[in-house]
Amino acid sequence: MPLRRRDFLFASALSAFAQNWPSRTPLGLNTYCLRALRWHDIPLLDYTASLKLDAVFLQDSLDPGVMDPAHWRKVREHAAKLGFVKLETGGGAILPRSAEEFESRVATLEKNIERAKGLGSPIVRALLASDRASMPPGPVEQHMEMTIRLLKRVRSRTLAAGVKIAIENHKDLQAWETRIVIEEAGKDFVGSYLDTGNPVFVFENPMTTLEHLGPYAVCIHLRDSVVYEHPQGIAIQWVPLGEGVVDFRAFLARARQVAPPVAVYVKPITGRPAAIVPYLEDSFWKAYPKARAAELASFLAMAKRGKPYEKPMVVEDLPGRKTPEAFIPAIQHQQKEHMERSVAYAKQALGLGLQS
């Protein structure tokens, strides 16, 4: 089969990045993992510094000043005082649920671009939808095209701000689809917020995700999962780093070959029950009419090696449901403990971070 021009350019990008990473990689944390603590931005920065980390990703900030330009300056200056080499941030889903919602989504993304610039973040996190099922009616190609059109609409604003939109590979698209969105929108102002925890929810091995999105990575977020066979298909649960099936040593070794040098963030979102991906049911595949057999095989091979999580975990962090008051202290303690366990793994086992 002849090599397509897009694939040739993609392969050239891979080789160009080889050996570009420095000997030590900046390590940070993703603040969403500490959401039960209800901390505002400055305490989050202070906590990050207390762990001797080099960067912080302010995701889904709970601070009342989140959209106040005066607050942005205060946070930026505090981050500089603490010696962070990176302070990064962004917003949430950008896919309009209808044509009438298009303009409001544009306005929200533009405001997030303004906030990122004010904070000194080089990127603006975004994603299409929380998951495949949350997309509006219609084929996935239609939603990809809508997203590309929306991104192109803010291109000049993004370039003028000196930032890049970072599309998180969430539970919505497979990596090859996300890559198309980035390339068609314009890789001069759109890149990949490369997350290792979401691929398994679209039955994808994180190594596959890396191959597709690594050359466009503007940040990398490490999240581990247990993935194992279940009577309905595959069961998945997020766990602290180093306690699941993801081979992070192999992942980072390959990242150093295919991705530009970026900050790496620890992102252990834990405390949630195992989720079932019912890929054995015919109805499941209606949402994935163009899934690739070889990539599914790689994912299933990973699942065959997996098993349920056997260490203690408080499971009470359920999306869409308020945590009962009696469980809040336990969840708060667990989120801190899992973060610190994951940071220790990233430093000691993976050799990440500029500080000892």
DSSP annotation string for 239-266: ESTTSSS--HHHHHHHHHHHS----EEE
The total number of structural domains in the chain stands at 1
Helix axes 248-258, 206-213, angle to 10 degrees: 10
Answer yes or no: is 353 within a domain. no
Q: Are 255 and 220 in contact (CB under 8 A)?
A: yes
Residue 16 has pLDDT above 60, yes or no: no
Q: Is 9 exposed, middle or buried (0-12, 13-18, 19+ CB in 10 A)?
A: exposed
Answer yes or no: is 75 within a domain. yes
CA distances from 23 to 19, 20, 221, 351 (A): 10, 9, 19, 10
Can you give the residue range of the structural domain that contains 250? Answer: 5-348
Tell me: the pLDDT tens digits for 198-248?
999 999 999 999 999 999 999 999 999 999 999 999 999 999 999 999 999
Pairing of strands 217-222, 190-195: parallel
| Predicted local confidence at residue 9, as pLDDT | 54
Residue 30 has pLDDT above 90, yes or no: yes
Tell me: the pLDDT tens digits for 293-337?
999 999 999 999 999 999 999 999 887 888 899 999 999 999 999
Which DSSP helix (H) or strand (E) runs through 18?
none
State phi, psi for 261 to the nearest 5 degrees: -65, 125
- What is the pTM for the complete model shown? 0.94
Answer yes or no: is 11 within a domain. yes
Answer yes or no: is 32 within a domain. yes
pLDDT (mean) for 177-197: 98
Answer yes or no: is 101 within a domain. yes
Residue 18 has pLDDT above 60, yes or no: no
Answer yes or no: is 121 within a domain. yes
- Contacts of residue 50, defined as CB under 8 A and 6 or more positions apart, other chains included, come to none
Answer yes or no: is 354 within a domain. no
d(CA 30, CA 32): 6
Q: What is the CATH number of the domain that holds 39?
A: 3.20.20.150
d(CA 168, CA 131): 12
